[in-house]
Structure 1
Amino acid sequence: METSIIDMVRQVEFLYIRESTYSEKEWHSRLHSHYFTEIIYVLSGKGTFIGEDVSQTIKRKDIIIVDPFVSHTEISHDDTPLHYVVIGLTNIKLTDKKNQQTPFHVVTDYSEELIAILKPAIYEISHKKKGKERVLKNFCEIFLIRLLRETNFGIVPIEDVPERQTNRQLKLIKDYIDNHYKENLSLQFLEERFHLNRYQIIHYFKDTYGTTPIDYVTQRRIMNAQRLLEDTDYMIEEISAINGFSSQSYFSQVFKRMTDMTPSAYRQAQK
């Protein structure tokens, strides 16, 4: 049995381990999904976990396992904000041998001994020490082995993971840009939000959509600026600000580079 668990864990790629504390005042819950599996261990507090159309109260010592591509979020109660550790892992998903049909799984009142395992991991998270990533990976492995030993969960490999994961993540990134292109988006932000290396994001996004993510942000801004120049009487300075440009002069420079016209000339040509 021990060997089979070790073999299963070797299939896993650990993406991250993070510590989070959220209260309703500072965290606006929004349904989202990942291409990978998430494991959440609640250190303290109380709240509600929502996955697809199912909700469940969560509290201290609960473990929540969320399958890939499941829309989910958590709502922290004001008087008892959730404090938890979350682990992201890919190439596999965890299945409950007793109940495989739910979009997420909750193990209630799990062993408090895990807190002793996670405390040094939390220290590593908040301190930039040499070998940090390797140490955190080791803690994740220990956590996962304990979970597999002491519960009904097993590991199931996901076939064709890289291509399916990448395609799904690229769609999520593009949809996010379409809805937030007016904001200050950067590769670092996209990297942290979607858990892909920035070089992967650039390569796969350009291969799929013919442009880089940041160039796509600029394209969406200019497209919206064109619409505002055509349909509104907004001043050019206002249109620049609405679309997230740092200055009117930079907006005019980018606009001319992409359309071969200044904003003023473009507006005049539409009359």
Structure 2
Amino acid sequence: MSYWEKANHSWSQDSIRYINTPSEKSKELFYYVQEIGYFKASRPYFTERENLPSFLMKFTHSGKGCLAYKNQKYILEAGDIFFIDCMDYQHYQTISEEPWEMYWVHFYGGNSELFYQEFMKNGSNVFHSNTANLENPIHLILRQLLHVQENRHAQTDFQSSVLLHQLLNELLIQKNQLDFTYEEIPDYVLAMKAFIDRQFKESLSMEQLEKQFHINKYQLNREFSRFIGQPPINYQINKKISFAKDLLRYSDQSIQEIALELGWDNFAYFSRLFKKKTGLTPGVYRKIG
């Protein structure tokens, strides 16, 4: 299907918009900006389109907008952020009496698609940032991206790619509420991590961890995943695989002995799991390690 778009361009004279045509090298190497801007858009501003090979991220600074996307409608207020794939039908518009003030960027390239898939794991294209607008890292990155487009030179595409990658990381951090300090990690999560670090060679289950820490296993799994980055059992398995790598490279133990030391008496299972995690069998890893 071909690209189409309808729009009303009721934005203020002090709005900013840059349209870029990246070089073939930039498209091959980088995340790249297609269009970027800062708008104060009054009613009846709207955009309706489909089949545009682009990702769009929009940060609402003030006023209100409405996004219709994938059979959902979202009301967008200050601090709300949306991230969409513009190949799918979309319609967004100003709905407040005052202008809808927003920063936005169309971009493509790099691992944009994978970041989008990760962003969409909870099924929502929109989230609200709890960080004050002027201090929000997403807001600051967008302003930096705008600034580097003003006077383009040989470094601009490099700088834009770095900033877009930072932006995508920050989107995941804020949406998944990962913007915490080490001091904010609950003591029981740190204690559980230390316990697994000590006992990783043993057989562990969520039921055992529940009894050990006297906290519901579902809460343990959820909070450990949030603060450590993966579920407890996955964390333990990855610790085992990392230890196996060390032994394969720097010891004379046989592969069977390594599997037994890590609590796996099924050598075939160990080999399959090792290959799944590393892409190599233990024997091949030992040869090239």
Interval of TM-score (by shorter of Structure 1 and Structure 2): 0.3 to 0.5
Which structure would you say has the larger Rg?
2
- TM-score, normalised to structure 1, is 0.43
Higher relative contact order (CA 8 A, sep 6+): 1
| TM-score, normalised with respect to structure 2 | 0.41
